[in-house]
Structure 1
Amino acid sequence: MNKIANVNLKKDLSKIEFPNEISSIDSIMDGYKYYQMISTALKLGFFDKMIEIGLASPREIAEAASANGMFIRSILSALEDIDFVKSHGDGYMLTEQAETFLSKKSRFYQGDLIMDLGRDESPWNDLAKVLERKEPPKLIQKEVDELQIRSLAQQCIRGEVQNVIKGIVSRNEFPQHKKLLEIGGSHGLYSIGLCQENNALSATIIEQEEVLPLTSAFVSEYRMGDKITLQEGNIENLKAVSEEKYDIILLSHQLYQYRREMGETLEEIVKMLNPGGTMVLNHRFCSPQCDIKPGDGIREIDRALTSFGHPLCHPEGIKDVLENTGFVNVSLIPHETALGYAVLCIGTKEDRTLQKTSDAKETFVSDYSVNGEDKIC
C-alpha cells in the first residue's frame, strides 16, 4: 500500500520517520542552485578573473572579481565540490575542466549556452506554457539574439559541425564544387568549415534580417569575409532572394516546421542546385524504434523544444524524397549531437527532369491527432 496512505497526520511529530528518499528531491534543488551559482559567476567574469590572478586567497579572488567577500569562501567550496576549483594550502585556482569550458578565451567555451538556458525567454523557464497546448509548436521558439546564436554555436561545436563537415568532404565531388548555399545559416560554422576545407569554395548564407549581424560576427571571427556572403531571406522566399545556381545546398535543422510539406519544400530548393551538385540535410530524428534510453529524458524534451515540438520521423523517408526528386548516391549518416540522435542525408543531383514528391510528405510525422499535433512516439 502507498506509504502516503499510511501516514497518521495526528501522530506525534517526534515519532515521524521521514523517508530517506528525500535525497532525490535535495539533488534536484541542489542542481538548480549550482546552475544559478555558475551562471552568476559567468556574468561577473569570475572564472576569467581567477585565471588572470592564478593561485590566490579567497580575499584576493573576491577583490579581483568585485564579489561580496562574505560569500566567496562558500562559493569556492561549492565550486570545489563539482571539480571546477581546486585548493592548495590557503589558495584556490581553477581546474583544467573549468578553464576549458568556462573561460571566454577557450575555443571550447560553453558559457553562453549555460546562460541562454536560464534567461527569461528560454522555454525551460516557462515549460508550463508549452505543456498547456494553448500555443502552436512554432511559438516554442524564442526571439533570436546574440546570446542564443552563440549558445547554438557552442552546442554545435561539440561534435555536430565536425560530423557534418566530414560527411560532406568525404564525397568524391566535393573538391570540384565552387559555390555553396546555406539556408538558415545562423552561426555560419558549417559554411566556415567547408570553405576552410576547399579553398576554391565560396558560400552564401541566407538568414533572417535580425540574425545577419550575428552571423556576420562569426564570419569575421574566422576571417572568412572574403569567401562568405550574407543575404536576407528564408526558406519560403528563395526565388526572391537568389536566381543563382549552386554546387552545394545545405540545410541544418530547418525542415521541422515543413514536415507535412517536405516534398514540395525540397522541390523548390532543388531547382537552385546545379546538376552533379550535392544536397545536404542535417536534422534530428526520433531514435531508432523511438527508443528513449534511460537517462535521456531531459535531452528528449530539449529535442522537442528545438524541433517545433517533435523531431522528424523515419529518416528513410527523406532518402525516398531525394531519390524521387532526382538524386543518386543518397547516403543516410546517423550521428550524435549535443541533443542526441540526428541523421545527415546527402545526395548528388542527376541531370534529369524532376518528379513530384507530394506523396512522401507524411513520412516525416508520427501518427498525429485531430488537432494536427504529432503524438508521442
Structure 2
Amino acid sequence: MNNISNLNLKKNVSEIEFPTEISMLDSIMDGYKYYQMISAALKLGILEKMAEIGPASPSEIAEAASVNGMFVRSILSALEDIGLVKSDDASYMITEQAETFLCQESPFYQGDLILDVGRDGSPWNDLTTVLERRGPPKTIQKDVDELQIRSLAQQCIRGEVQNVLNGILSRPEFSEHEKLLDIGGSHGLYSVGLCQENAALSSTIIEQDQVVPLTSSFVSEYGMDDRIKVQEGSIETMTNDLSPEVYDIVLISHTLYRYRREMSETLEKVTKTLSPGGTLVLNHRFCSPQCDIKPGDGIREIDRALTSFGHPLCHPEGLKDVLENKGFTNVSLIPHETALGYAVLCIGTKGSNMDKTSDTENIPVSHNFPDGEDKCC
C-alpha cells in the first residue's frame, strides 16, 4: 500500500520503489504470449517443417515454413526456452516432446486442443460473458466445427476413453452384445474402440444436426463406416416412437448435466431403449470427493464447470440409487481421472422385469440455489 500511496501523493518518480513481486504478473503475461506463439507455430506449420527437414539454420527454417526472417531467430529461441526446440552452434531442431505432442502424424497429437482454447467462440475467449450470467450458462460458442471435435478427441485420448472402454470390457456380458447406442459421442472414439474389441458389435451415434457430418468423417478415418452410423437425435427425441429401437448397450457420456434436475425421468426414457440384460453406461464428471479443490487445480475446475453446463454432478451414489430403484443390477461406480479431473463411470445391467415405471422419487445428483443455479456441496 505504501507504493500506491506514493503514487497517489505524486511524489518524485525517482523515489518510487516498485515491488519486486511484479514478476508474478509478468509470468502470467508471458504465459499468454507463449500460448500465442505456440498457436502461431501450429497454424504456420513451423514444427512440422522442422521435423521434416531436420537440423537447419534459422534462415533455412524461415524459408521452409514461409516465416518472416526478421522474427525467426527470436521465435526459435522462445520455443527453445519451453523445450520444444533445441540447438547446437549452427542449427535448430525439434525436440522429441514437440514431435510427440505437436506433430499431426503422432497418435498423441494435441495441437487442435491447444488451438481450440483460443478460437472465436471459446468460453475461455469470452469468460467475462460467462461469468456475468445468472443461472445455468448458455452456450456462447458458434456452430460446432471440426476443430472442436478433434480437440475433444485429443482431450479424451489422454486416458478417459481407455478408462471407459476398460470398464465396459470388464463386464462378462460385453462379448454377447451386438447393438450399441452412443449418445453424445461426438468424436466417435467410444464406438470405434468398442467395435474394435467386439467384431459382432455395431453402433449408432446420435448427435446434434451440425455435428453429424463431423463425427461421420472421424469414424471414416478409422474405417468403421460399415459398422458405425451417425444420425441426428437426442435423449428427448430418441424415445418419441411407440416402439423405439432396442440396444444391448446404451452409453451416455457428458450429456446428463443438462438433465440434472430431472435425472430419474431422463433415465426412464433411456431405459426404454435398452434390452433386458443390456448394459447402461454413464460417464460424467463429478465434484471431487468432499468437494475439495486441490491447490493448483483452480483453472481445471473452471474448465470442468464450462464443460458441464455450469457445474459437474455432485453425488454419484445418488445416480446409483436411481438405477437400483429402477431395477438395475450389478451397478458399479468406477472413479477415474480425465484430462479435466475427477469423473465417475456408472455401469449397470437392466433387469428382466422393468417395463413398469418405478414410483421412486427424483433422487438428486446436484444441489441448487433457489434461483436455479447449481452450487457445490
Which bracket does the TM-score occupy, shorter chain normalised?
over 0.9
Please give the residue correspondences for 1:93-172 in structure 2 after superposition, counting only pairs within 5 Å. Answer: 93-133=93-133, 136-140=136-140, 142-172=142-172
Contact 2:136–2:374 (Cα < 8 Å) also in 1: no
Residue equivalent to 1:336:
337
Residue equivalent to 2:181:
181
Q: CA deviation at 1:12?
A: 2.0
Segments of 5+ residues of structure 2 without an aligned counterpart are: none
Q: What's the secondary structure of 2:375's corresponding residue?
A: coil
Structure 1 residues 21 and 68, CA, compared in 2 at 3 Å: closer, same or farther? same
Q: What's the secondary structure of 1:267's corresponding residue?
A: helix
Q: CA deviation at 1:25?
A: 0.1
Residue equivalent to 2:358:
356
CA–CA distance in structure 2, aligned partners of residues 125 and 216 of structure 1:
28
Q: What's the secondary structure of 1:277's corresponding residue?
A: strand
Q: CA deviation at 1:217?
A: 1.1
Contact 2:244–2:272 (Cα < 8 Å) also in 1: no
Residue equivalent to 1:246:
247
Compare 138-147 and 209-218 and name the one that shifted more: 138-147
Q: CA deviation at 1:229?
A: 1.5
Residue equivalent to 2:309:
308
Residue equivalent to 2:272:
271
Contact 2:286–2:342 (Cα < 8 Å) also in 1: yes
Q: CA deviation at 1:142?
A: 5.0
CA-to-partner distance for each residue in 1:93-144, whole Å, 9 max, x for gaps? 1000100111011111111111110012001111111111157413256531
Residue equivalent to 1:324:
325
CA–CA distance in structure 1, aligned partners of residues 228 and 2 of structure 2:
64
Matching of residue 257 in structure 1 with residue 258 in structure 2: yes
Structure 1 residues 360 and 240, CA, compared in 2 at 3 Å: closer, same or farther? closer
Contact 2:332–2:347 (Cα < 8 Å) also in 1: yes
Contact 1:245–1:273 (Cα < 8 Å) also in 2: yes
Contact 1:263–1:357 (Cα < 8 Å) also in 2: no
Contact 1:248–1:280 (Cα < 8 Å) also in 2: yes
Count of residue correspondences = 374
Q: What's the secondary structure of 1:173's corresponding residue?
A: helix
Contact 1:264–1:357 (Cα < 8 Å) also in 2: no
Q: CA deviation at 1:11?
A: 2.5
Contact 2:239–2:272 (Cα < 8 Å) also in 1: no
TM-score w.r.t. length of structure 1: 0.96
What letter corresponds to residue 360 of structure 1 in structure 2?
N
Contact 1:320–1:360 (Cα < 8 Å) also in 2: no
Structure 1 residues 37 and 201, CA, compared in 2 at 3 Å: closer, same or farther? same
CA-to-partner distance for each residue in 1:124-182, whole Å, 9 max, x for gaps? 11111111115741325653111111110000000000000000000111111111110
CA–CA distance in structure 2, aligned partners of residues 324 and 4 of structure 1:
64
Contact 2:80–2:86 (Cα < 8 Å) also in 1: yes
CA–CA distance in structure 2, aligned partners of residues 208 and 180 of structure 1:
18
What letter corresponds to residue 56 of structure 2 in structure 1?
A
Residue equivalent to 1:227:
227
What letter corresponds to residue 271 of structure 2 in structure 1?
V
Structure 1 residues 140 and 371, CA, compared in 2 at 3 Å: closer, same or farther? farther
Q: What's the secondary structure of 1:210's corresponding residue?
A: helix
Contact 1:113–1:150 (Cα < 8 Å) also in 2: yes
Q: CA deviation at 1:358?
A: 5.5
Structure 1 residues 278 and 69, CA, compared in 2 at 3 Å: closer, same or farther? same
Compare 301-310 and 226-235 and name the one that shifted more: 226-235
CA–CA distance in structure 2, aligned partners of residues 321 and 4 of structure 1:
59
CA–CA distance in structure 2, aligned partners of residues 3 and 322 of structure 1:
61
> Aligned Cα RMSD in Å?
1.6
CA–CA distance in structure 2, aligned partners of residues 258 and 10 of structure 1:
57
What letter corresponds to residue 265 of structure 1 in structure 2?
T
Residue equivalent to 1:34:
34
Residue equivalent to 2:371:
371
What letter corresponds to residue 227 of structure 1 in structure 2?
R
Q: CA deviation at 1:185?
A: 1.5
Structure 1 residues 355 and 239, CA, compared in 2 at 3 Å: closer, same or farther? closer
CA–CA distance in structure 1, aligned partners of residues 246 and 79 of structure 2:
53
Structure 1 residues 161 and 305, CA, compared in 2 at 3 Å: closer, same or farther? same
Contact 1:321–1:357 (Cα < 8 Å) also in 2: no
Q: What's the secondary structure of 1:211's corresponding residue?
A: helix
What letter corresponds to residue 152 of structure 1 in structure 2?
L
Q: CA deviation at 1:183?
A: 0.9
What letter corresponds to residue 226 of structure 1 in structure 2?
D
Q: What's the secondary structure of 2:180's corresponding residue?
A: strand
Q: CA deviation at 1:189?
A: 0.3
Q: What's the secondary structure of 1:343's corresponding residue?
A: strand
Contact 2:281–2:347 (Cα < 8 Å) also in 1: yes
Contact 1:140–1:308 (Cα < 8 Å) also in 2: no
Contact 1:261–1:358 (Cα < 8 Å) also in 2: no
Structure 1 residues 135 and 322, CA, compared in 2 at 3 Å: closer, same or farther? closer
What letter corresponds to residue 185 of structure 1 in structure 2?
G
CA–CA distance in structure 2, aligned partners of residues 140 and 321 of structure 1:
32
